Structure 1
Amino acid sequence: GYEQRRNELYSWDGMKRGTEPFLVIQHTILGEGRLDFGGVRHKLQMGQTMLVTMPHAHRYWLERGGHWEYFWFILSGREALRMAREVLAVAGPILQPSRDGAAHLADACHALLTRQLTPAQASVLGYQALAVLHDAAFAGASPRPALAPELARVLVHIETNLGGDLRVDALAQAAGLSRTKCARRMDRVERLLTASEMKVADIARVTGFADANYLSKAFRRHRGLSPMEFRAQRDEAV
């Protein structure tokens, strides 16, 4: 959609838009909006794009006497939400797409507004818009930091003992860490598998494993299941 708001009541609360998950992409053309995202306030200025998911503790609005011109997309679906959460985890809710990226967003919105599209064609345009934000978020991502020495020792132990003891106690001993610290790391992996749609490779990255393969082997030894099998149990329970 496309809208202009001038000196009027305009406010959306992310916790009061139903229980079905979806996401909003809103690109500012002119003027300025406001966003409170988890208690942190942001200005939404010309050329910036807001990304938020629902339900979530946020609110965006127009200040009294203000002017805000923007276009927006609403997307739903598991893959769209997964991509959105990846972007939010890296860049937060405000992005600055390149000039070409902003043009792609505008073209996609214009096509959705003016052309008669099949649901499949509309979905393609929506995902293209989300891909612009994904590119903007990860284009300037910092290089992956070197592994801490204790994690490097764990990886060596896993590589050389694939058929041996990869229980938490053994991994903790190899790392020179307490069993409690290693267990906490696995607990974090479990929470991310349960509460997010992050890829296993991304979970491996944020929890200190070299890649999805290493994490999967260690996780299977810890839980007797692969990460995806563990996540499937969550989905079956819903």
Structure 2
Amino acid sequence: MDETTMRHPHDGSAPELGEGFPGQRMRVLPQPLVAHARTQPATSQLLVTDAGFFPRAARHSTTRPHGAPQDIVMICGAGKGTCSMLSEVHPVEAGDALIIPSGTPHRYRADRADPWTIWWLHVTGPATSGLFEAMDATARQPVVRLRDPSRVVALVDTVLRRMERDETASSLVAAAGAAWHALALIAADRSTTAGDRAEPIETTLEFLRANIAERVSVPELATMAGLSQSHYAALFRRATGFGVLEYQTRLRMASARELLDTTDRTVGSIARQVGFADPLYFSRQFRKIHSLSPTEYRARKGR
């Protein structure tokens, strides 16, 4: 055989592991335990049913004509491969997360010359759809580029280690928590495709965070990123969920809250430190976000 097909009991077929991969790790929960865990409060929203690690998985190939009963999350740590879904072929490279929604027919395979090393989870529960939506991951666009894949891999490893430990309720809860953290991190730290120029956007975000008190205009930021104003503004909103002005204001207010919580400085002094020359205008902006004036906020905190 020139391929190794990895099937799992939850796929509805008998497991056929072949020779496997040197150093591989894998855990699959028995179906009765899955059914029970899905009724428990701590694992009803998100449950890990399968988890594994396949290092340099030469000839790895899996075909599911009817999809999997669970959602699949795969992190490519090295090498590369492809996933075919909805008549499209998607390259998967080191630093990518591959998201396969449940019930979606697919086939994925390692590259013959440079086979991937992958960490993977099968997850089920109503929470996954919202997390996938936050990733912008769909069956049409299943590959998510990660800015820091090592952090996600560490969490998936935590899932696997807890499942390797035993099948107690505490281990399932710990695995579910680490998986939820991993999916949330993919959503929060995802990069965009190279064509969307993710790095210049991140550079300007870092500049804004380092210069909270300085009001920087969209034209200045767009020039810094090497983009047109309209393109920059669109990518900025996609990356943060806010317009440029609102993002800067919220950065300033976060710093103001810290100063109100941890110092006895006057509101006017705090306003100036976070970039507002007019304390009254600062107070109005603070109230718009918090529904409280700075003085009321401090009093509620007991200072």
**What residue in structure 1 maps to residue 71 of structure 2?**
23
**What residue in structure 1 maps to residue 178 of structure 2?**
125
CA–CA distance in 1 between the matches of 2:145 and 2:62? Answer: 22
Structure 1 position 13 matched with structure 2 position 64: yes
Flag the 1:92–1:33 CA change in 2: closer, same or farther, 3 A: same
Question: Secondary structure of 1:98's match?
Answer: coil
One-letter amino acid of the structure 1 residue matched with residue 83 of structure 2: L
Match runs of 1:1-238 below 5 Å = 1-13=52-64, 15-17=66-68, 20=69, 22-87=70-135, 88-89=137-138, 92-99=141-148, 102-115=149-162, 116=165, 118-137=171-190, 142=235, 143=237
1:27 and 1:47 in contact (8 A); partners too: yes
Flag the 1:38–1:96 CA change in 2: closer, same or farther, 3 A: same
TM-score with structure 2 setting the length: 0.40
One-letter amino acid of the structure 1 residue matched with residue 107 of structure 2: R
Flag the 1:138–1:64 CA change in 2: closer, same or farther, 3 A: closer
Whichever of the two has the greater Rg, that structure is: 2
1:23 and 1:84 in contact (8 A); partners too: no
CA–CA distance in 1 between the matches of 2:116 and 2:73? Answer: 15
CA offsets per residue over residues 63-90 of structure 1, 9 Å max, x none?
4454111111221101113322443259
One-letter amino acid of the structure 1 residue matched with residue 64 of structure 2: D
TM-score with structure 1 setting the length: 0.50
One-letter amino acid of the structure 2 residue matched with residue 71 of structure 1: W
Flag the 1:138–1:16 CA change in 2: closer, same or farther, 3 A: closer
Flag the 1:86–1:38 CA change in 2: closer, same or farther, 3 A: farther
CA offsets per residue over residues 101-132 of structure 1, 9 Å max, x none?
x2221211222233445221111111111101
CA–CA distance in 2 between the matches of 1:138 and 1:97? Answer: 5
Question: Secondary structure of 1:74's match?
Answer: strand
Equivalences, count:
139
CA–CA distance in 2 between the matches of 1:83 and 1:130? Answer: 6
The RMSD of aligned alpha carbons is: 2.8
Q: Larger relative contact order (C-alpha < 8 A, sep ≥ 6)?
A: 1
1:11 and 1:61 in contact (8 A); partners too: yes
5+ residue gaps, structure 2: 1-51, 193-197, 199-233, 239-303
CA offsets per residue over residues 138-175 of structure 1, 9 Å max, x none?
8867437xxxxxxxxxxxxxxxxxxxxxxxxxxxxxxx
* Identity score, percent: 16
One-letter amino acid of the structure 1 residue matched with residue 153 of structure 2: A
2:56 and 2:79 in contact (8 A); partners too: no
One-letter amino acid of the structure 1 residue matched with residue 104 of structure 2: H
Question: Secondary structure of 1:41's match?
Answer: strand
2:80 and 2:114 in contact (8 A); partners too: yes
Larger fraction in helix:
1
Tell me whether 82-91 or 63-72 shows the greater mean CA deviation.
Answer: 82-91
One-letter amino acid of the structure 1 residue matched with residue 179 of structure 2: G
